[in-house]
Amino acid sequence: MKNQYFGDVNDYIKYGLLRTIIKTTEWRIFVAWYLTPDDNRTDGNRLGYLSERKSYRKYDPALFDFLASKVSSTNERTVNMIECSNMLPDAVYHSTLTPDRNEDRTVWFSELRDAFNGQDLAFLDPDNGLEIKSKPVGRKNSSKYVSLQEVRKFWSFQSSLLIYQHFPRRPREVFIAEMRNRLHELVNGATIITYQSTNVLFLLVLQPKHEQFADMIRNKMKIQWQQKLVAC
């Protein structure tokens, strides 16, 4: 996650997904931003949806109005805007910049662990998604990925997971199947639900103790988000 992305269409969809899960389950949420510094790229400028009010607002009117207000009222977009709101009730956040260096990443994750307090769901929000072979922790830009070891650690905390994953330029059905298989190899006993928007895949990895909520989440998402965020 970068602050420059705040309020874009991917933000609207991911907060909407989290809000639907919270309303359906009453879970407590932990948000690990995997924050990285802003850059000069145009990523995060996907704000056209805000001018398509009729098409987008219906999915979550309160969230849409909140993001539209924040984006229009300031030039500085930051995750602090959602942290200081009540859009994700009682959520706990970890907002420290994610480092590349191995030793620094260990300290960073230790601090993250200290902030975690037994929340039911941990949302992991990296720039790109799950670790790839060319970007293990310690390598330049590894901060843009959730390491596989960190997934295992979060799973050991008995928290269910929601992971943000950008689509690469590959056939989507094949990629989604690969992501599901990777997660099944990483964690034991998980129920995995996947949702896709135009640009992003969301991987919801449920602990066995939360499996009872799977159908409730599926049904609520199908009703509320229709074609904008679909099970896959």
Would residue 36 be called left, alpha or beta, if left means φ above 0 and alpha means ψ between -120 and 50 degrees?
beta
pLDDT at site 83: 96
Confidence of residue 106 (pLDDT cuts 50, 70, 90): very high
Asked if residues 34 and 126 have their Cβ atoms less than 8 Å apart, the reply is yes
Quick one: what percent of the chain has pLDDT higher than 90? 88
At residue 166, φ and ψ (nearest 5 deg) are -75, 150
pLDDT at site 226: 84
Q: Which of 209-213, 219-223, 225-229 has the lowest mean pLDDT?
A: 225-229
How much is the average pLDDT of 52-63? 95
Mean pLDDT for all residues in the chain: 94
Confidence of residue 43 (pLDDT cuts 50, 70, 90): low
pLDDT at site 184: 94
How much is the average pLDDT of 204-208? 98
How much is the average pLDDT of 132-158? 95
Residue 110 has pLDDT above 80, yes or no: yes
Please report the DSSP string for 53-110 in residue order: HHHHGGG-HHHHHHHHHHHHH-S---THHHHTSSSSTT-EEE-SPPPSSHHHHHHHHH
At residue 231, φ and ψ (nearest 5 deg) are -65, 145
Residue 42 has pLDDT above 70, yes or no: no
